[in-house]
Structure 1
Amino acid sequence: MKLVVQVPCLNEEETLPLVLGSIPRSIPGIDEIVVVVIDDGSTDRTVEVARAHGVTDFVHHRRNMGLAKSFTDGVSYALSIGADIVVNTDGDNQYPQERIADLVQPIVRGEADIVIADRQTQLIEHFSPTKKRLQRLGSHVVNKAAGTELPDAASGFRAYSRESLMRLNTVTRFSYCMETIIQAGNKRMAIASVPVVTNAKTRESRLFKNTRQHVFRSGLAITRAFIMYRPYVIFGWLAAVFGVLGLIPFARYAWLEYQGEGGGHLQSLLLGTALIMMAALSVMLGIVSDLIRTNRSLIEVNLEHTKRARFDAPHYPASLL
Structure 2
Amino acid sequence: MRVLLPLLISQAQGMEMYREHRIGVVVPAYNEEALIGDTLSGIPDYVDRIYVVNDGSKDRTPQIVGEFQKKDGRIVLINHEKNMGVGKSIIDGYKAALKDGMDIVAVMAGDNQMDPAYLPDLLDPIVEGRADYTKGNRLLGPDYVRNMPKFRYIGNMILTFLTKIASGYWHIMDPQNGYTAISKKALETIPLDKVYTWYGYPNDLLVKLNVYGFRVLDVPIPAKYGREKSKIKYTKYILKVSWLLLRDFFWRLKEKYLLYNFHPLVFFYIFGILFLLVGTGGVLFAFYQKFVLHRAVLFYYLTLSLLVFAIGLIMFLFAMLFDMEEERRNYQKR
Q: TM-score, normalised by structure 2?
A: 0.67
Question: Residue by residue, what CA displacement relative to the aligned partner does 1:87-142 show, whole Å, maximum 9, x if unpaired?
Answer: 01100111102221221111111111000011237534453434323312321221
2:220 corresponds to 1:199? no
| Residue of structure 1 in register with 2:209 after alignment | 184
Distance 1:246 1:6 in 2: 47
Q: Secondary structure at the match of 1:14?
A: coil
Distance 1:4 1:98 in 2: 16
Q: Contact between 1:114 and 1:160, CA under 8 Å: does it hold in 2?
A: yes
Distance 1:247 1:216 in 2: 26
2:196 paired residue among 162, 172, 192: 172
Q: Secondary structure at the match of 2:219?
A: strand
| Residue of structure 1 in register with 2:241 after alignment | 218
Q: 1:67 to 1:234 in 2, by over 3 A?
A: farther
Distance 2:107 2:149 in 1: 25
2:249 corresponds to 1:229? no
Deviation at 1:151, TM superposition (A): 2.1
Q: 1:246 to 1:6 in 2, by over 3 A?
A: closer
Distance 1:247 1:65 in 2: 44
| Residue of structure 1 in register with 2:158 after alignment | 137
Question: Residue by residue, what CA displacement relative to the aligned partner does 1:282-313 show, whole Å, maximum 9, x if unpaired?
Answer: xxxxxxxxxxxxxxxxxxxxxxxxxxxxxxxx
2:188 corresponds to 1:163? no
| Residue of structure 1 in register with 2:312 after alignment | none
Deviation at 1:143, TM superposition (A): 1.7
Distance 1:10 1:242 in 2: 42
**Aligned ranges 1:36-47 → 2 under 5 Å:** 36-47=51-62
| Residue of structure 2 in register with 1:307 after alignment | none
| Residue of structure 1 in register with 2:80 after alignment | 61
Question: Residue by residue, what CA displacement relative to the aligned partner does 1:56-87 show, whole Å, maximum 9, x if unpaired?
Answer: 41211001001111111111111111111110
Q: 1:139 to 1:57 in 2, by over 3 A?
A: same
Q: Contact between 2:165 and 2:249, CA under 8 Å: does it hold in 1?
A: no
Deviates more, 1:165-174 or 1:90-99: 165-174
Percent identity between matched residues is 24
Q: Secondary structure at the match of 1:57?
A: strand
Distance 1:102 1:89 in 2: 14
Q: Secondary structure at the match of 2:48?
A: strand
Deviates more, 1:220-229 or 1:2-11: 220-229
2:185 corresponds to 1:150? no
Deviates more, 1:42-51 or 1:211-220: 42-51
Q: 1:124 to 1:201 in 2, by over 3 A?
A: farther
Q: Secondary structure at the match of 1:75?
A: helix
1:80 paired residue among 94, 99, 103: 99
Deviation at 1:244, TM superposition (A): 5.5
Q: Secondary structure at the match of 2:239?
A: helix
Q: 1:196 to 1:247 in 2, by over 3 A?
A: closer
- Name stretches of at least 5 consecutive residues in structure 2 with no aligned partner: 1-20, 255-265, 284-294, 306-334
Deviates more, 1:52-61 or 1:176-185: 52-61
Q: Secondary structure at the match of 1:230?
A: helix
Q: Secondary structure at the match of 1:38?
A: strand
Distance 1:153 1:214 in 2: 14
Question: Residue by residue, what CA displacement relative to the aligned partner does 1:196-228 show, whole Å, maximum 9, x if unpaired?
Answer: 12333323212x22x211211221221121121
| Residue of structure 1 in register with 2:3 after alignment | none
Report the residue type matching 1:193 in the other structure.
D
Q: Secondary structure at the match of 1:48?
A: helix
Deviates more, 1:161-170 or 1:73-82: 161-170
Question: Residue by residue, what CA displacement relative to the aligned partner does 1:38-59 show, whole Å, maximum 9, x if unpaired?
Answer: 0100122212212322254121
Deviation at 1:237, TM superposition (A): 2.9
Deviation at 1:234, TM superposition (A): 5.6
**How many equivalent pairs are there?**
248
| Residue of structure 1 in register with 2:311 after alignment | none
2:67 corresponds to 1:52? yes
Q: 1:109 to 1:213 in 2, by over 3 A?
A: same
| Residue of structure 1 in register with 2:134 after alignment | 115
Distance 2:55 2:64 in 1: 15
- Name stretches of at least 5 consecutive residues in structure 1 with no aligned partner: 27-31, 249-264, 276-321
Report the residue type matching 2:271 in the other structure.
G
